[in-house]
Amino acid sequence: MGQYDNRWQTVKVTVEQGIAWVSFNRPEKRNAMSPTLNREMRDVLETVEQDADARVLVLTGEGSAWTAGMDLKEYFREVDAGPEILQERIRRDASEWQWKLLRFYSKPTIAMVNGWCFGGGFSPLVACDLAICADEATFGLSEINWGIPPGNLVSKAMADTVGHRESLYYIMTGKTFDGQKAAQMGLVNKSVPLAQLRDEVVLLAQDLLDKNPVVLRAAKNGFKRCRELTWEQNEDYLYAKLDQAQLRDPEHGRAQGLKQFLDDKSIKPGLQAYKR
């Protein structure tokens, strides 16, 4: 048995060759996100973050779905029937793992969208650093069809990732689209046939595993933060991230890269990472 077997009820985790495969594990519900899943995802992300064997995180779903979004019965029928303070906690749990933990995770994250991705599923999709989907995947913002606007921070996720016209078209019509369209819109980096999906994700993960993890973290989180700052603020912030990365990097990657390029003539930085 693996170290994480049966540790969580709604999430499955395995670690293989540096990659943590984190799967929504409610296939009978198309991996719909429930209050329990949100609580467990917080624990999963915090646990995997401290696992030295897990250096890249891939988020996917068991069965035929990535996630069908929020579990309507548990979120709306049951939560709405509870006290107002319960609703506050449920919303906080969802936001904390998606927008505070996952979006600024300390390790590279890849969304591997293997099937249905609806509604609230767009939030963790966009919170991941990178995304690859199956051509056969089906995406949709169907909230309008049952009488509400997109929940959580889905509209913000779309606004930051997809163009104005495309976002509003799918938000206002509730129509679905496939993986190729998701790639064309920029919602994912690439779409491939389902049979090739895992191999494609492994190739991307292996590329990230070759990179300096401290510098990679500074680069990705610096980019995400800089979108919210002015040019003047960014000048100070991004130089600070550069200095921070060098200070915290036990590999002294900058010095190694310069030596291998300028002195040893053993690498071409425009085409490859320095040898670690």
**88, 163, 235, 239: which is the annotated catalytic residue?**
239
Is 257 one of the catalytic residues?
A: no
Residue at which a domain ends, from 165, 180, 209: 209
Structural domain including 238 reads: 213-263
Is 4 one of the catalytic residues?
A: no
Is 143 one of the catalytic residues?
A: yes
| Same domain? 137 vs 161 | yes
Closest CA to 158 of 144, 169, 148: 169
**41, 61, 62, 75: which is the annotated catalytic residue?**
75
C-alpha distances out from residue 27 to 64, 101, 109, Å: 7, 24, 22
| Same domain? 217 vs 82 | no
Instruction: Encode pLDDT of 126-172 as tens digits.
Output: 999 999 999 999 999 999 998 888 887 899 999 999 999 999 999 99
Is 120 one of the catalytic residues?
A: yes
Residue at which a domain ends, from 189, 209, 229: 209
| Contact by Cβ (8 Å): 269, 257 | yes
| Contact by Cβ (8 Å): 72, 35 | no
Task: Identify the pLDDT of residue 152.
Answer: 78
**33, 40, 112, 143: which is the annotated catalytic residue?**
143
**33, 70, 112, 158: which is the annotated catalytic residue?**
70
d(CA 236, CA 10): 42
pTM for the full model?
Answer: 0.90
| Contact by Cβ (8 Å): 200, 190 | yes
Is 237 one of the catalytic residues?
A: no
d(CA 95, CA 90): 9
| Same domain? 182 vs 50 | yes
Instruction: Encode pLDDT of 190-244 as tens digits.
Output: 999 999 999 999 999 999 999 999 999 999 999 999 988 888 888 888 878 778 8
**120, 121, 179, 257: which is the annotated catalytic residue?**
120
Residue at which a domain ends, from 209, 224, 254: 209
Domain-embedded: residue 119: yes
